[in-house]
Structure 1
Amino acid sequence: MTGGAAIGLPPIRHNDYSPLRPPALGGWEPSLPVSVVIPAHGGQHRLDLVLAALAAQTYPDRLLEVIVVDDGSDPPLRLPEIAPPDTRIVTADPGGWGTSHAVNTGAAVAGGAVLHRLDSDMVVCREHVEALARWHHLSDHVVTIGAKKFVEEPAVEPARLHEAVRAGALGDVFDLSSALPSSTEETIARLDGLRASRNPYHVCTGPTVALRREVFHAVGGLDPAVPRGEDTEFAYRLAQHGVVFVPDMEARAVHLGLPAQRLDRDRAVRLVAPYLAHRVPLRRDLRKDRGRRWLVPYVEVVLHVDGAGQEQVREAVGAALSGSVGDVVVTLVAPWPDPAAGRRPAPGDPAFELRLMREHFSHDDRVRLADRVSPTPAPIPFRYTGPVSVPPAPRTLERMIEALQRDRLGMLVVDLADGGTAVLQRTEALGRARLLGACGVTAVTASIEATHGVRRADRAEFWPAARPDTARQDTARQDAAGAGTPQGTARPGGARPDRGRPAAKSPEPDRPGPRAPGRPGHGKAEPERRAPADPALRGPRSPRTLLSRLRAVLGEG
C-alpha cells in the first residue's frame, strides 16, 4: 500500500470499494496484528461465551490479542478458562464510565495495527476476525462492519460453544432459523453492500467494527459525552475523515438477546435524537428548531482578510451569517497581532486594522480568528472559501451545497471573474484526499476529482442577477434607514430585509438538499454589489488560470 491505497488499484470512488478484491477465507496469510477490544459491565456468563468463541478463531493466535475493559462491574470480571492465549482484563480509566470511555481505555493500551471493537454479548463465528481483517491488508482507510442476528440466549456452557464455533456449526447451539435479522443488514443489501450509499456511516453501529488504530486515534476515539448513539456519532466523524465503509456478511455473529428497540422503539429513537442533532449536521431532519445554534455547524466559511478593510470584512461576515443556511461558522484568516503587545491600538500601528477587526469579532462565537486554514474543517461537513470582495449572496451557500449534494461531488469551483474564485469542499472528500497523501491545491483537487468529482461553474448560477424591482425596493429600504447600510451587512439582532418569509422544508437525512430548516427562504435575490477586489486575492491585472485563482482563494497562492 502507498498513501492509504492498495498498490496498482484505482482510487475508491465515494464508497464503492469494488476495486478491493479480498482473498478467500482460509486462502491467504495474515500479517497484521489485531487487537479485539471488548467493553463490558457485568454479564460474566455472556463474556465467557464471547471469549470461548474468540478462542476458536481462524485468525492466527500470534497476531491476536483480546482486551476486556471492565467498566465498573460488581463483582469485577474475571478471565474464564477458555479464552484466546493473549487475553487480559483491564479496568476502565478512573474519572469516567460508559461504553465509549471503556473502548477508549482499551484502544489506548492496544498494540495491534487493527482495532476490532466487539460487544460483550456478541458471539462470533470462527472466521469473523479473519473476514474483517482481510480488508485492512488491502487498504488502511477502510472501516469494516460485521453481520449479526439477534437470538434468545440459550443455556449453553462455554466448552460446548467453543467446540461448535471451531467446527463451524453455530446452528448446533443457536436456533438461527428463528433469529431476528438486523435492520442494518437490510439497508446494506438494499444499497449494494453500501456501495451505493450516500451516508454509509448510518449503518456502522458498534457491536462489531474494525479499523486501523491510527484512524481511531486520528478522529479522537469515541466521545464519552454521548451516552446514546455514540457509535453513529463516531462513524460520522470517521466519514468526515474520509474512510470507506465495508460490510462483510461472512463475518457472521449472533447477538445474545433481542434488540432493546423492540421494547419501546419511540423512546429508543428519542433518546438518541438530541445527541445526534448537535453532532451530526447531515441529520437535517433533527435540526428543525428556528434560530438554534448547534454544537457542530453545517458549513465553515473561510475568508482571508489580511489587507482588507474592516467595513468590507464586516459586510462579508454579515452576508455569510445572514444567508438562507443558518448553521454557519466564519473563520477569518490573517496574521493576527498578539493582543498583549502594546498598551492600546494606535492610528500609526501597522496592525491597526487587524487589531480593531479582532476586537469587533472576538466575542461572537460564530466567528473564529485563525492564523492559517486548518487542514480539514471536520467534523463540519462543508467548507466554503471565497474572497472578501465578493460576499455570498443570500442563497449562495444553499445553492452550492444543493449542487454538491445532487451530483455527489467533492468540490465545486465557481469562477468569479475579477473577484477571484469561490470554492465549496465536501469534508469527507478532502479527508479522503489527505488519507491518500495528497498535498497542495493541485494534488488535492486531482484526488477529489478521482474519488468524488469536481465541478466548475460560473458566477451567475450562484450569484444570480437581481431583478430591477428588487433593486429599487432594497435601495428604498437603505434610504429609509438613513445611513445607507451596505448591502449584505448584518443588521442589529441579525435582522434582514426579507425576514418573515416561509421557512424551507428540511430534506430527509440521506437525500441531497442542504436548506437549513427553520430559516427564512429567499424568493428574490439581493441586488449584487461588487466591492473592489482585494489586491492580495486579485494579483496582477493579467489573465489568470482557474487553478491560480483556486490556489489564491485557498490561501496557497
Structure 2
Amino acid sequence: MTDGAGIDLPPIRHNDYSPLDPPTLGGWDPALPVSVVIPAHGGQHRLDLTLAALAAQTYPGHLTEVIVVDDGSDPPLRLPEIAPPDTRIVAAAPGGWGIAHAVNTGAALAEGRIIHRLDADMVVCREHIEAMARWHHLAGYLVAIGAKKFLKEPEISPADLYDGVRTGPLGAVFDLSEALASSTEQTISRTDGLRTSRNPYHVCTGPTVSMLRETFHAVGGVDPDVLRGEDTEFAYRLAAHGVVFVPEMAAEAVHLGLPAQRRDRDRVVRAVGPYLAHRVPLRRDLRKDRGRRWLVPYVEVVLHLDGEVKDDRPVREAVSAALEGSVTDVVVTLVAPWSRLTSGRRPVLGDPSFELRLLREHFAHDERVRLADEVSATPAPIPFRYTGPVSVPLGPDSLERMIAAVQGDRSGMLVVGLGDGGSATLERTEALGRALLLGADDVPASIRATHGVRHGERAEFWPARAAAAPAPAGRPGRATVDSRPAVKPADRPAQAAAGGGPADRPAAASEDRPTQAAADRPARSAADKPAQAGAGGFTVPTRKPKSRLARFRSAIRRG
C-alpha cells in the first residue's frame, strides 16, 4: 500500500482501473484520515439517521471526522445523541449559500487526507467509508463513487438504525424491494464498472463521492455559481484534471426520499441546462443556439509567434481562420513576449517592437483572443488544445475533423504532419492532465501509455477544396494510432446505432439525473457531406453515401 501516491503502479488506460487491486474489506490497516463533509439545509430527522449510520462504520473512528455544514437552516441544525465521536456542525461561510458553497466551506475546514462528500439524507452501510477509502490508499488520482438506491423515508429511530447498520446489511434495515434503482448504476453495469466508459464523469453525481483533499482543491472545489447540476460540473473538471473514476458497489447507501425530478422532471432538466451548457463544452447537445459565446470554450488554439514578428498580417489571418471555422466556441492564445512591451515614451513608427505592438492593439479588446508570454500547463476546463504554426492556418473544418478523429478512437493526442510547415497537434485535456498527475517527464510518452497517440496526414485534415471528399478519419492509409498497449476493436465500447454516440450515454429520462442525457458526442464535420453544384467551382454527386465524419455531424444536429 502507498500513501495515496500510486508509486510504481501500471498506467491506467482511459478509465480501466483493472490493474489496481484493492484490499479485502476488513483485511487491511487504513492509514489515511477521512473528513466526511455533509452539506445540510433543514431535515433534522434525516440528518440524525445519516449520522447514526456513520457512527456504525468499520473505518477507524480515530481516522474519521464528520463536518456538517448548516446552510442557513431555520431552526439551526443540532448535533444528535448518536453520531461519530469527532462530529461538529458549522455554519456555512458568510457571503454565499447553496450546496456547492456549503461543501466548499466544509472542505476548507477538513483536516483529513481524504474528503468524502455525503448528502444529509443518505443512510450508508457499515463498510461504506472503508470501501471507498481503500482506493485512495492505492493511488492519488482516483475518485471513488458510492452506490445508492432511492427509498421513501421509513419510520425508524436513529437508535434502531444504528443497531441495524452495525450488525447487518442495509437490506436488514430497510425493505429494499421497494427501493428505486439509480440510473447511474445501470450505466456503471453497462460499461463494465465504468472501465469502458467514454464519459465516466456523468455518473459522479455527488451524494456519495470521495477523493484526496489535494485533488478537490486542485480543480477549485465545487462551483458555487452552479445552483443545479453542480456535482456533474465538478465531476467534469475532475475528468479534465485526469482522474480515474472508480465506482464502488460495496459502498451501499439508501437515499431517503425519491428524486426531485419525479415530481417535476421537466423543470429540473431545464434548471440544469444553462449551467452545464456554459461550463461543460462536451455537452454539444446544449450548445445549439447559433452565434452564442460560452463561458468555457470547446478548443484552445495556441499559436506561437517565434522570433521577431516581421509582418502582422499572417498572424491576423491565422487567428481569423481559427475563429471562423466550423467549430465556433474557440479561444485563441497568442504566445509571444508581450510583457516586454513597456508603456513609456518611445518612437511610434521606429519602435523595434512595432509589429508586436500592432498585434497587441489588434486583439487587446477581443475576448476570444488571449495574449500570453507562455502557454499554460493545461487548458482545463477546456477539453481540447490545438497547437499549430502560424504559417499553416486552420482550414474551415480542420478542428472539427481533428476532434472527430480523436473522439473516434479515444486517443489522447493527434499529431498531423504539415510538410515544410512542421506539425500540428491536438491534445485531449484529460490525457494531458493524467500525464501531469503522474509527474511524467515525457508527456507524449505518458499520453501514449494512457490514451494513445494518433498520427495523421495533412490532406485528411486540410483537404484540398477541388479534390474529392477524403476518407473518414481512421481508415487505413490515412492515419495510424500509436497506442501501446493496442486497443482492440472488441475492447472499445459499442457505438450507438444512430450517429456513433457513446455506448454509455445516460438515458434521457434518468430517474435520478436526467441532466446526464445526451452524453458528449464527437463533433462531426460538414465537409464530408457531398458538395452542391457550383461550390468551389466543382460538382460532387449529392447521393454519395455519408462518411463517418458526416454521420457524426448529423448526430449532433439531431441532439
Please give the range of the TM-score, normalised by the shorter of the 2 chains: 0.7 to 0.9
> What is the rounded CA distance, in whole Å, between the counterparts of 2:315 and 2:112 in structure 1?
49
Query: Cα distance, 1:2 vs. partner?
Result: 8.3
> What is the rounded CA distance, in whole Å, between the counterparts of 1:296 and 1:522 in structure 2?
32
Query: Cα distance, 1:413 vs. partner?
Result: 0.6
- Number of equivalent positions: 489
Letter in 1 for 2:466: R
In the alignment, which residue of structure 2 is the partner of 1:421?
Answer: 423
In the alignment, which residue of structure 1 is the partner of 2:209?
Answer: 209
Any residues of structure 2 matched to 1:378-389 within 5 Å, and which? 378-389=380-391
User: Which stretch has the larger CA shift, 40-49 or 96-105?
Assistant: 40-49
Q: Which structure 2 segments of 5+ residues have no match?
A: 470-498, 503-517, 538-559
1:102-136 alpha-carbon deviations (Å, 9 max, x no partner): 00000001001100000000000000000000000
In the alignment, which residue of structure 2 is the partner of 1:188?
Answer: 188
Specify whether residues 66 and 511 from structure 1 end up closer, same or farther in structure 2 by C-alpha distance, changes over 3 A only: closer
Specify whether residues 202 and 164 from structure 1 end up closer, same or farther in structure 2 by C-alpha distance, changes over 3 A only: same
> What is the rounded CA distance, in whole Å, between the counterparts of 1:511 and 1:110 in structure 2?
34
Specify whether residues 65 and 400 from structure 1 end up closer, same or farther in structure 2 by C-alpha distance, changes over 3 A only: same
Query: Cα distance, 1:171 vs. partner?
Result: 2.7
In the alignment, which residue of structure 2 is the partner of 1:534?
Answer: none
In the alignment, which residue of structure 2 is the partner of 1:540?
Answer: none
> What is the rounded CA distance, in whole Å, between the counterparts of 2:263 and 2:347 in structure 1?
64
Specify whether residues 522 and 353 from structure 1 end up closer, same or farther in structure 2 by C-alpha distance, changes over 3 A only: farther
Contact 2:3/2:137, CA 8 A, preserved across alignment = no
Letter in 2 for 1:200: P
Contact 2:2/2:137, CA 8 A, preserved across alignment = no
Q: Does 1:311 align with 2:320?
A: no
> What is the rounded CA distance, in whole Å, between the counterparts of 2:276 and 2:519 in structure 1?
14
Contact 2:3/2:138, CA 8 A, preserved across alignment = no
Specify whether residues 261 and 345 from structure 1 end up closer, same or farther in structure 2 by C-alpha distance, changes over 3 A only: farther
User: Which stretch has the larger CA shift, 505-514 or 281-290?
Assistant: 505-514
In the alignment, which residue of structure 2 is the partner of 1:328?
Answer: 330
1:497-527 alpha-carbon deviations (Å, 9 max, x no partner): xxxxxxxx9977446421489x998949989
> What is the rounded CA distance, in whole Å, between the counterparts of 1:319 and 1:32 in structure 2?
51
Query: Cα distance, 1:175 vs. partner?
Result: 1.2
> What is the rounded CA distance, in whole Å, between the counterparts of 1:366 and 1:158 in structure 2?
55
> What is the rounded CA distance, in whole Å, between the counterparts of 2:528 and 2:370 in structure 1?
25
Match of 1:434 among 423, 433, 436: 436
In the alignment, which residue of structure 1 is the partner of 2:97?
Answer: 97
Paired residue secondary structure (2:314): helix
Query: Cα distance, 1:6 vs. partner?
Result: 2.9
Query: Cα distance, 1:343 vs. partner?
Result: 3.5
Query: Cα distance, 1:68 vs. partner?
Result: 0.5
- TM-score, normalised to structure 2, is 0.84
Query: Cα distance, 1:152 vs. partner?
Result: 1.1
> What is the rounded CA distance, in whole Å, between the counterparts of 2:5 and 2:44 in structure 1?
41
> What is the rounded CA distance, in whole Å, between the counterparts of 1:300 and 1:409 in structure 2?
18
> What is the rounded CA distance, in whole Å, between the counterparts of 2:181 and 2:285 in structure 1?
26
> What is the rounded CA distance, in whole Å, between the counterparts of 2:312 and 2:332 in structure 1?
15
> What is the rounded CA distance, in whole Å, between the counterparts of 2:531 and 2:299 in structure 1?
22
Query: Cα distance, 1:324 vs. partner?
Result: 0.9
Any residues of structure 2 matched to 1:350-361 within 5 Å, and which? 350-361=352-363
Paired residue secondary structure (2:250): coil
In the alignment, which residue of structure 1 is the partner of 2:472?
Answer: none
Q: Does 1:228 align with 2:228?
A: yes
> What is the rounded CA distance, in whole Å, between the counterparts of 2:352 and 2:177 in structure 1?
77
- TM-score, normalised to structure 1, is 0.84
Specify whether residues 24 and 354 from structure 1 end up closer, same or farther in structure 2 by C-alpha distance, changes over 3 A only: same
Q: Does 1:514 align with 2:514?
A: no
> What is the rounded CA distance, in whole Å, between the counterparts of 1:180 and 1:300 in structure 2?
42
Query: Cα distance, 1:81 vs. partner?
Result: 1.0
> What is the rounded CA distance, in whole Å, between the counterparts of 1:44 and 1:218 in structure 2?
32
Letter in 1 for 2:464: A
Paired residue secondary structure (1:68): strand
In the alignment, which residue of structure 1 is the partner of 2:401?
Answer: 399
In the alignment, which residue of structure 1 is the partner of 2:13?
Answer: 13
Q: Which structure 1 segments of 5+ residues have no match?
A: 471-504, 528-557
> What is the rounded CA distance, in whole Å, between the counterparts of 1:137 and 1:389 in structure 2?
49
> What is the rounded CA distance, in whole Å, between the counterparts of 2:63 and 2:536 in structure 1?
63
Query: Cα distance, 1:461 vs. partner?
Result: 1.3
Query: Cα distance, 1:17 vs. partner?
Result: 0.4
Specify whether residues 26 and 357 from structure 1 end up closer, same or farther in structure 2 by C-alpha distance, changes over 3 A only: same
User: Which stretch has the larger CA shift, 167-176 or 343-352?
Assistant: 343-352
Paired residue secondary structure (1:216): helix
Q: Does 1:38 align with 2:47?
A: no
Specify whether residues 36 and 445 from structure 1 end up closer, same or farther in structure 2 by C-alpha distance, changes over 3 A only: same
> What is the rounded CA distance, in whole Å, between the counterparts of 1:437 and 1:407 in structure 2?
25
> What is the rounded CA distance, in whole Å, between the counterparts of 1:513 and 1:57 in structure 2?
43
In the alignment, which residue of structure 2 is the partner of 1:483?
Answer: none
Specify whether residues 152 and 20 from structure 1 end up closer, same or farther in structure 2 by C-alpha distance, changes over 3 A only: same
Letter in 2 for 1:232: T
1:355-394 alpha-carbon deviations (Å, 9 max, x no partner): 1100000111110100100000000000000000011111
Contact 1:5/1:11, CA 8 A, preserved across alignment = no
1:321-353 alpha-carbon deviations (Å, 9 max, x no partner): 111111111000000145652236622222211
In the alignment, which residue of structure 2 is the partner of 1:263?
Answer: 263
In the alignment, which residue of structure 1 is the partner of 2:445?
Answer: 446
In the alignment, which residue of structure 2 is the partner of 1:455?
Answer: 454
Letter in 2 for 1:195: R
Specify whether residues 5 and 422 from structure 1 end up closer, same or farther in structure 2 by C-alpha distance, changes over 3 A only: farther
Letter in 2 for 1:180: L
1:49-74 alpha-carbon deviations (Å, 9 max, x no partner): 11110000000001100000010111
> What is the rounded CA distance, in whole Å, between the counterparts of 2:425 and 2:285 in structure 1?
26
Any residues of structure 2 matched to 1:119-130 within 5 Å, and which? 119-130=119-130
In the alignment, which residue of structure 2 is the partner of 1:52?
Answer: 52
> What is the rounded CA distance, in whole Å, between the counterparts of 1:437 and 1:215 in structure 2?
14
Paired residue secondary structure (1:326): coil
Contact 1:15/1:245, CA 8 A, preserved across alignment = yes
Paired residue secondary structure (1:303): strand
1:379-425 alpha-carbon deviations (Å, 9 max, x no partner): 00000000000111111101110100001000001111211110000
Query: Cα distance, 1:161 vs. partner?
Result: 0.6
1:73-105 alpha-carbon deviations (Å, 9 max, x no partner): 111111111111111111100000000000000
Specify whether residues 326 and 457 from structure 1 end up closer, same or farther in structure 2 by C-alpha distance, changes over 3 A only: same
> What is the rounded CA distance, in whole Å, between the counterparts of 1:188 and 1:336 in structure 2?
48
> What is the rounded CA distance, in whole Å, between the counterparts of 2:397 and 2:270 in structure 1?
32
Specify whether residues 146 and 3 from structure 1 end up closer, same or farther in structure 2 by C-alpha distance, changes over 3 A only: closer
Specify whether residues 513 and 468 from structure 1 end up closer, same or farther in structure 2 by C-alpha distance, changes over 3 A only: closer
